[in-house]
Structure 1
Amino acid sequence: MKNIPKIIINTSEAEKKFCETVIRKATNDTSEAEKKFSKTVRRKATYKTYFFNGAWGSGKTSFLKKSEEYLKKGWKVRYLKLWEIRDERSVFELALKGLYPWLNIFVNTLAISSIIISILLTPVINLGLESSLSSTFKIFFVIIGLFVAVYKALNLKTDYIYMRMLGFLTKWVKRILVIDDFDRVSKENQLESYKLFNVIHGNIPIVFIGDWDKLSDSKDNMLTDRYLSKFVDRKIELPVSLSSYDLSKSYSKEILDTYGGLDPLKREQFEIFLNKCFISDRYSLRELHNFIEFLNDELKEKKGSVQEHQFIIVLYLYVFEHHLYSQLIKNYKISKNITTFDDTTDDSDTNQHFIKDLLFNKYKDTFPQNFSDNPISYFIHDNIRNLSDEEADTIYKELLDNPDSYLSNADKEGEFLLYLKNKNIEESDQDSIVNIILNTIDKDEYFELNKGLYTCVTNSVALKNGPIDTFKQRTFDFWEEKLKDYSVGKKCHIYRKVNVFAHFYDNLKKQAKNYIDSCIQNDNGKIDYPADVAYFLVGGDYENVKESEVDLNKIYEKMNEKDILEFLKYLKIYRQGYILTAFNSSGQTIDLSDILNPILEKFSNLNEILYPPKPRS
């Protein structure tokens, strides 16, 4: 399966022009901006403090890390993530450790070594170390060890030493301090950090990364915003070329190329969804990258068992419009396997109506099952799956080899019939499928399968064997050729069982009339399956009984009571001992006496069957 690759924006040109960008205005590219930015923050004399502004997840940190290849020429970049602090260490201690990690390691090693050596020099533990060290070293280690012990014992929390060290080192050792996600730092740590900035401000370049609007809009951060303005010399905006709108547009093209499909209408509808809903500046770069990664991972599991367009829409709701996805989960009825959006849908939200239409009204009768028919298979993290293309192909191949194998997959019949309805049958398989139908036509467990097999074979003949304007005659001729050794009565029986297409009826009506006349002329001529013949004589519609009365009276002579009841059942006006009430398009009851009276005249015994007496009250 082809995955959608992560899109990396080319910043090579922008890196050559970024210096002018930060002084003047942003360009459409960014890599040159990164290079110019690195030169700007390294200007001599008093170094400035910058605020690199951008929304959460917009790519600020990634952008800055890419520019490090220019910043690191004689300089080292150190990141201070104050929002990740989970202990009681002060901002000064963290800054010293972050800016000069080698010094932190040296001091810690020296302190621990001094304590250990001091203990080993005591009379209690005498390992001969005293004789191997000069008195100067002994005094040095003992003093250091004693200082550390007293410091820890008294639990001193002064930052004086760190302040002095930072004030000295930042004047002589080249470092660039980056304060990442400053808008996420707690108010206490933000205020404490200003002590640090008072010490090192101007000594080294400092770059804050964060969302300035969050600092200035929040009432809790008004004090922080006021103080920060005193230190920040220049605010730098994220280059426009890194906007989520451009990235979502690029990803939209990748999604369409990968999952657009070959059906022009479906592709057009899906493209409209991408243009109307997916392409937007509302999402962060991180959200877009995560969506694509999520999509690739999920379709590894679900590909072939879902309509990919609909699944992408559901995943879009899950990631970007979670309130709508939550409605689908909340409104899901497990007993009926259906779901819907809330009735309080905003009528003015055209995008929401469009999404609803794609999920519930489009992709009908398609394989794999669409969202509205089996929504649970589209829900994120649910492991209930539709029948996949691969699984359906396996069932189909086994069916051709051994029709009885189908019975073991009866629980998947509905989905497999949908698969057949959408499948183009190879010409080499047509005879095998016809034989399956003929050999199982009177087996009830194959009833629905045979209808599906007939449909897919007939559709394949219509599409492949000639021009579209002749498909009616071609498909009829195809089946007539396959059934040429059968009587008209047997053919009518097979055609009714497989639920033939409407354009077969006119030809079959003519055949039925000729067949009846032929059998009548032959005194001993038996009519095979007379109920089926009568069914096609009236075109499968009880409303045509009156106009076919002459021919029906002929066939009635060859029918018994059982045949008559079957005929009425095929016309769907009789079932299980009762005449059903028929209605016209206006909802008015249709009088069936014109249909039944001629029958009752010939079969008077059916009167009590068709009109059983009502029980006395």
Structure 2
Amino acid sequence: MIEQTKESQEKFLELTKVNTETAAKDFAELLEKNKTYFLNGQWGSGKTEFLSDTRQYSKKWFTFLDLWRVQDERTVVTIASAKLMPKIYWGLKIVTVLSVIISILMTGVVDLGISQITDTLGAQITGGIALFVAVCSFFKVKSDAFYIQILKIFPFKKRLLIIDDFDRIDLKTQEQIYVLFNLLENKIPIVFVGDYNQLARNNSKFLQKIINQKIELPYNLHPNNIWKEYFSELKIKLKTPIPDKFQKMIIGEQRNLREREQFNDYVNHEFFIRRKLDRVQPTQQLLVIYVYLFYPNYYNILVNDSSFEFAKQLEGEDKKVIDWSPEKLLHTLLYDMQRKDSKGYPYPFTKNKEEYFLYEQPSNSTIEELEGLIEKDSTLKTSLLSNIDTDFYQYLQSHYQDFSQEKKDRILSTTLELVKQYKESSTIRYILTEKNEEIMPRKQYIDNNTWGIPEKRANKTDEEIHKEIYQSWHTLLEKHEFDFSQEIYLLEKYSELHFHALGTLFPDINITSTDSLHWDRKDFLLNVYISSQDIWGKFKYWSKITWKAIADLPDEQYLSFWTAQGIIDNKRIVDFDSIPADKKYTVWLSKRDFEHPDKFIDYQFVVDKIEPRLKSLEEKGYAFVKATKG
């Protein structure tokens, strides 16, 4: 696992104990009466903690009977006897065993001289006991009958019996508990612990009849209370408000005390051990943690960069409705996270999704071994191609800020060599993200479209900032012999300068110049050119020269170009230049106009133009399915 520094541990969000003192005192007072109680609460809702608090204020000796977790071949009556009357139970066990041993020794089978004193009264009594035990064993006389008689007359005084997780116990064991109850009724306070609703569903009528009083957990342990308190603390720790939608979703799903503890463990791990606090948008990271814990199928969809089934239902829908179910709130949050974009930093999920994913695998490498990978060019290149689920990525993420500038420069130089070869990985993205932050610190997302402006950006227009970013990268990339199109490739994929910003920055791109013949990534340059001419999506305004330049693109760049334009779909939310493993694409004949949700944009004109090329690509193993996006 990632090394936990003292600094990261000090930043942890520690869960404060919920105060149930008043309710615990009241419950302790009730337990003075020899009645039957049912402490009601779902799994993980804090019943054990509440009983622990009650114990502090009670004069009773709490005896727990946990028959769900413990595997024991003894009967319930025998187990209860051992718990309620430990001295009698173990005393009888010891006397019985010793009697058998002495009986064997008196037979002379093992000659220790015991047989010589068999005439004494004590030896005769011991022998009688041993004989009695042997006869009982031979005829398989059960010990329950013996313990039942003792339980009937035993003066329990300050004893209290607690039967934990009753709703999880199988029916056969529950029947044995009812026998025990009949023996102890009105002689000792008995507390059944579990989820009453589960018993009602299982038609457990007997228990419902014998309960004198059902006790609900105090409101302090209710999800509404424990999460509101937690979110207040989390807001301070993460330095950002927690959106109402997210809070309502968790509280509405009735996530309990144990689930809150699980959630907080991952919050500490991701934000403070893995040092993500300033590298992710907190709300989106919290959402990823939540689905990882409670909706693993949704988490897998995020990892696979797929769309959710409910996405179609939410397209064009008004998401300002307040009275939504927790399920719909979750759907809305996930839908928005897969689509929301922003120009600030930290990057949103759509631009840097791998940064948001969780990693829990134990490390198989030592720090020394991981550091050694950086020293050699060959191992460094291989390591830089690793993804988020590797030891090297986790090591880099946790220690990169502490590297010397010389070490950072060496890693960056090798990274740029790989980018020039159009290699991609989580590690490459991480290194370039850190370089972007060094060149021009991003606006820090706070919440509700509020941003913190770094000093380096203050009092500058977007165009001035973009020019500064480009110039810094250009100076660096020139040393690595990037051509102009390769610079555009890196900036579009790994910086805040996307096609629109680049089109504004370079309004005079000439796609018919001599230089254009040598462009390595013509697909990216053509998209910048189209943006600079303000004809993005206005296909009927494209010139013959533009259409010819597109037709001349190599196959993979041709697909990349049209995916960026939204005409074809590679089933990836981001990475429009990626080729799907199955080489299957969707061709959109029309799409809903999001500015006018009741209208559709017709793409038939474009599809007709590219149809011959698509058929040619089908002969090379690609597949295209036509569809309408609603």
TM range (shorter): 0.5 to 0.7
Match of 2:508 in 1: 540
Give the 5 Å matches for 1:194-273.
Answer: 194-219=178-203, 221=204, 225=205, 227-260=206-239, 267=240, 270-273=242-245
- Residues 392 and 496 of structure 1: is their aligned pair in 2 closer, same or farther, counting only changes over 3 Å? farther
Taking the aligned partners of 1:187 and 1:326, their CA distance within structure 2 comes to: 37
Match of 2:111 in 1: 126
How far 1:370 moved relative to its partner? 3.8
Match of 1:8 in 2: 17
Taking the aligned partners of 1:86 and 1:160, their CA distance within structure 2 comes to: 22
Match of 2:30 in 1: 40
Could you state the TM-score of these two structures normalised by the residue count of structure 2? 0.60
Residue identity opposite 2:61 in structure 1: K
Taking the aligned partners of 1:421 and 1:56, their CA distance within structure 2 comes to: 47
Counterpart pick for 1:341 among 301, 308, 311: 308
Q: Secondary structure at the match of 1:388?
A: helix
Taking the aligned partners of 1:258 and 1:123, their CA distance within structure 2 comes to: 77
Match of 2:44 in 1: 57
Taking the aligned partners of 1:110 and 1:574, their CA distance within structure 2 comes to: 90
Counterpart pick for 1:422 among 425, 437, 453: 437
- Residues 472 and 318 of structure 1: is their aligned pair in 2 closer, same or farther, counting only changes over 3 Å? closer
Which blocks of at least 5 consecutive residues in structure 2 are unaligned?
A: 1-7, 315-323, 362-388, 442-452, 475-481, 489-503, 547-630
2:173 is equivalent to residue 189 of structure 1: yes
How far 1:161 moved relative to its partner? 0.9
Match of 1:296 in 2: 268
CA contact (8 A) 1:368 1:419 kept: no
Residue identity opposite 2:158 in structure 1: K
Taking the aligned partners of 1:591 and 1:542, their CA distance within structure 2 comes to: 14
Counterpart pick for 1:316 among 290, 301, 308: 290
Could you state the TM-score of these two structures normalised by the residue count of structure 1? 0.61
Taking the aligned partners of 1:496 and 1:343, their CA distance within structure 2 comes to: 39
Taking the aligned partners of 1:322 and 1:471, their CA distance within structure 2 comes to: 40
- Bigger-Rg structure (1/2): 1
Taking the aligned partners of 1:474 and 1:370, their CA distance within structure 2 comes to: 23
How far 1:421 moved relative to its partner? 2.4
Q: Secondary structure at the match of 1:5?
A: coil
Q: Secondary structure at the match of 2:214?
A: strand
- Residues 399 and 587 of structure 1: is their aligned pair in 2 closer, same or farther, counting only changes over 3 Å? farther
Taking the aligned partners of 1:248 and 1:312, their CA distance within structure 2 comes to: 14
Which sits farther off after the overlay, 411-420 or 86-95?
Answer: 411-420
CA contact (8 A) 1:399 1:406 kept: no
Structure 1, residues 167-203: CA drift from partner, whole Å, max 9, x if none? 111x354311111111111111212222211111111
How far 1:116 moved relative to its partner? 0.7
- Residues 114 and 463 of structure 1: is their aligned pair in 2 closer, same or farther, counting only changes over 3 Å? closer
Give aligned-pair identity as a percent.
25
CA contact (8 A) 1:121 1:130 kept: yes
Normalized per residue, the structure richer in helix is 1
Taking the aligned partners of 1:40 and 1:214, their CA distance within structure 2 comes to: 25
Taking the aligned partners of 1:400 and 1:250, their CA distance within structure 2 comes to: 45
Taking the aligned partners of 1:574 and 1:179, their CA distance within structure 2 comes to: 70
Which blocks of at least 5 consecutive residues in structure 1 are unaligned?
A: 12-30, 261-266, 333-337, 427-461, 484-492, 500-535, 546-563, 594-617
Q: Secondary structure at the match of 2:78?
A: helix
Match of 1:325 in 2: 299
Which sits farther off after the overlay, 48-57 or 288-297?
Answer: 288-297
How far 1:391 moved relative to its partner? 2.4
- Residues 98 and 375 of structure 1: is their aligned pair in 2 closer, same or farther, counting only changes over 3 Å? same
How far 1:137 moved relative to its partner? 1.6
- Residues 339 and 161 of structure 1: is their aligned pair in 2 closer, same or farther, counting only changes over 3 Å? same
- Residues 103 and 369 of structure 1: is their aligned pair in 2 closer, same or farther, counting only changes over 3 Å? same
Taking the aligned partners of 1:32 and 1:276, their CA distance within structure 2 comes to: 28
Taking the aligned partners of 1:399 and 1:70, their CA distance within structure 2 comes to: 60
- Residues 159 and 371 of structure 1: is their aligned pair in 2 closer, same or farther, counting only changes over 3 Å? farther
Taking the aligned partners of 1:156 and 1:282, their CA distance within structure 2 comes to: 50
CA contact (8 A) 1:366 1:418 kept: no
Taking the aligned partners of 1:574 and 1:369, their CA distance within structure 2 comes to: 25
- Residues 567 and 120 of structure 1: is their aligned pair in 2 closer, same or farther, counting only changes over 3 Å? closer
2:147 is equivalent to residue 162 of structure 1: yes
Structure 1, residues 364-417: CA drift from partner, whole Å, max 9, x if none? 775678466444861554624476274267385535589866667766544333
How far 1:359 moved relative to its partner? 4.2
- Residues 133 and 354 of structure 1: is their aligned pair in 2 closer, same or farther, counting only changes over 3 Å? same
**Count of paired positions:** 448
Match of 1:490 in 2: none
Taking the aligned partners of 1:377 and 1:188, their CA distance within structure 2 comes to: 47
Residue identity opposite 2:41 in structure 1: G
| C-alpha RMSD of the superposition | 4.6
- Residues 49 and 238 of structure 1: is their aligned pair in 2 closer, same or farther, counting only changes over 3 Å? same
Give the 5 Å matches for 1:505-544.
Answer: 540-542=508-510
CA contact (8 A) 2:280 2:355 kept: no
Match of 1:68 in 2: 55
- Residues 339 and 392 of structure 1: is their aligned pair in 2 closer, same or farther, counting only changes over 3 Å? farther
Taking the aligned partners of 2:210 and 2:25, their CA distance within structure 1 comes to: 23
Counterpart pick for 1:566 among 499, 511, 515: 515
How far 1:351 moved relative to its partner? 3.4
